[in-house]
Amino acid sequence: MLLGVLVLGGVAGALLQARNGRIRAAKSGAPTLPDRVSGALAPEGVTLVQISTTFCAPCRHTRAILSALAEKTGGLTHVDLDVTETPEVAQALSVLRTPTTLALTPDGRELLRVGGVPRGQELLEALKPHLTNV
């Protein structure tokens, strides 16, 4: 019985780890963005909107990765939104976990999303067709 629980726990952990940082294409039919999000979008290029919460340790790691990526990549902006006090923002964007990163165009169209800590180079490769200065 104990061995079965350990194996099941190991399988569940491996599945969660495999999903962490995976880039997913945006679903068609983008939701209406809350004012807090639409007001944070850059006028040009791509905005990486990081959805975080106050006590989220992986959010700090994500913030470091995305900030560094935005600093060295023209046309890429990073915005971190803490939704601890405003869970309706996460609900409107269909965000179920933190950190979640959304790549949005200036008009609010979602290009892709990453659940968990993103892998910087993979994210940059996925965004290349949408950036002019890469």
Choose between 34 and 9: higher pLDDT: 34
Residue spans per domain, the chain: 2-130
pLDDT score, position 68: 96
Which single residue is written with the structure tokens 């569940």? Answer: 12
Provide the phi-psi class of 89: left if phi over 0, else alpha when psi is between -120 and 50, else beta: alpha
Question: DSSP of 26-39, one letter per residue?
Answer: PPSSPPPPPHHHHT
Under 8 Å between Cβ of 45 and 132:
yes
- Residues 79-86 have a mean pLDDT of 93
- Taking 60 as the threshold, does the pLDDT of residue 134 lie above it? no
- Residues 5-11 have a mean pLDDT of 72
- Residues 46-70 have a mean pLDDT of 95
CATH of span 2-130? 3.40.30.10
> Which of 30-34, 36-40, 86-90 is predicted least confidently?
30-34
pLDDT score, position 60: 95
